A and B are shown apart, each in its own frame.
Chain A
């Protein structure tokens, strides 16, 4: 297990099982605390072969070089980061993605996950990724005919690929809940139960960080989540967790540095939609950029 010294305590993490053990009875001294976040999200590039209406990726072809990502991973690992998550753009369309995942898995102690639309998965790619990812997250925002109308691809085709994935790589489902389509959520949750997903991440649609659901739709979303929570693990963003009857697990101190994001334009931010970013010129000096980000943002300093 990897040990991270952090503001919350002594944090052990196993990247295969996802097990976390946090000894929070004692806390490391300030100088020993990790400068990196627990999780570093990386947008490998902004290119995607689908055109989903709600997607907030920048519509350009910005791309991080593979060597840049490898250096970034090495630096993040040394600074005490626990996990990388790949997104974008479509990460499975990124050149040599399986090689990149394999290299990071072999050369660092980082957990590694990616979020994909899933349509590029095939037996060859799944075989190459297997053993080099902690979990793969597949986006499914509804069932037919809604799915095809959003993705421009057939859900039936994706399900065939998921049946191959589930025997090789732990997988979860991400589902975006959009205005006027809350009724898709129970269908997606039923599908997730049926296909054997490890969990479902429910994401109410955002625009520039603002929730697009009406109050009634948000309330309906919460009711559906509560109805299904006994049947499958459901994750929600922290702000939505405040509305649930069962409180989310409190796993960090209030001043913990939990998350940062690197855009495909090499900008380091506190989230994918946050402002006040810092451009990364040299990924091996990630610690300096993280320090600057925290100074700019006034957090975790």
Chain B
């Protein structure tokens, strides 16, 4: 999945992604899992080469419903940690690839809104 904002041939990925959860606890669980993945992705990238044997890669593979590609590990590293505020998680990003983030938000039944950053 790619998300961006713009008209005609020009585009920007300056978007704001908001996940709203039914409880504060659910928001924190999503935050915790996502940040674990970010940390694991950093280790995978740092290890370089074939990441399939690293513990970090195992974390990635076990925590998501589909095998995590190296591109998704890069995506996680670029997105960085997220922080819950009450029942919400808000992420401002310039990245077009955000499918791992959306998967984590939806896993904890978060209602997801994606809007342009300046709205």
Report, as a range, how many residues of chain A touch the other chain: 20 to 34
- How far is B7's CA from A259's CA once the two chains are assembled, in angstroms? 12
- How far is B1's CA from A235's CA once the two chains are assembled, in angstroms? 22
- A113 to B8, Cβ gap below 8 A? yes
A90 interface hit (Cβ, 8 Å): no
Residue among B1, B8, B99, B116 with max Cβ neighbours from chain A (10 Å):
B8
Chief secondary structure at chain A's binding surface? strand
Taken residue by residue from 238 to 279, chain A's Cβ proximity to chain B (1 for < 8 Å, 0 otherwise) reads as 100000000001110000001100000000000000000000
**In-complex Cβ contact of B96 among A111, A249, A258 (8 A):** A249
- How far is B9's CA from A12's CA once the two chains are assembled, in angstroms? 15
Quick one: closest A residue to B95, CB to CB? A249
Quick one: closest B residue to A246, CB to CB? B94
- B9 to A251, Cβ gap below 8 A? no
- B3 to A20, Cβ gap below 8 A? yes
CB neighbours (8 Å) of B13 from chain A are: 249
- A235 to B10, Cβ gap below 8 A? yes
Q: Smallest CB–CB gap between A190 and chain B, Å? A: 20
- A24 to B116, Cβ gap below 8 A? no
Chief secondary structure at chain B's binding surface? loop
A150 interface hit (Cβ, 8 Å): no
Report, as a range, how many residues of chain B touch the other chain: 20 to 34
- How far is B12's CA from A250's CA once the two chains are assembled, in angstroms? 11
CB neighbours (8 Å) of B96 from chain A are: 249-251
Q: Smallest CB–CB gap between A177 and chain B, Å? A: 16
- How far is B11's CA from A233's CA once the two chains are assembled, in angstroms? 9
- B6 to A20, Cβ gap below 8 A? yes
B119 interface hit (Cβ, 8 Å): yes
Could you list some 14 contacts between A and B, CB below 8 A? A17-B119, A18-B7, A19-B15, A19-B114, A20-B3, A21-B3, A22-B1, A24-B1, A83-B8, A111-B7, A113-B8, A134-B7, A198-B118, A235-B10
B residues contacting A by CB (< 8 A) are 1-15, 96, 99, 114-116, 118-119
For the complex of A and B, 4 pairs with smallest distance between CB atoms: A235-B10, A22-B2, A17-B116, A18-B5
A residues contacting B by CB (< 8 A) are 17-25, 39, 41, 83, 85, 111, 113, 134-135, 172, 198-199, 201, 233, 235, 237-238, 249-251, 258-259
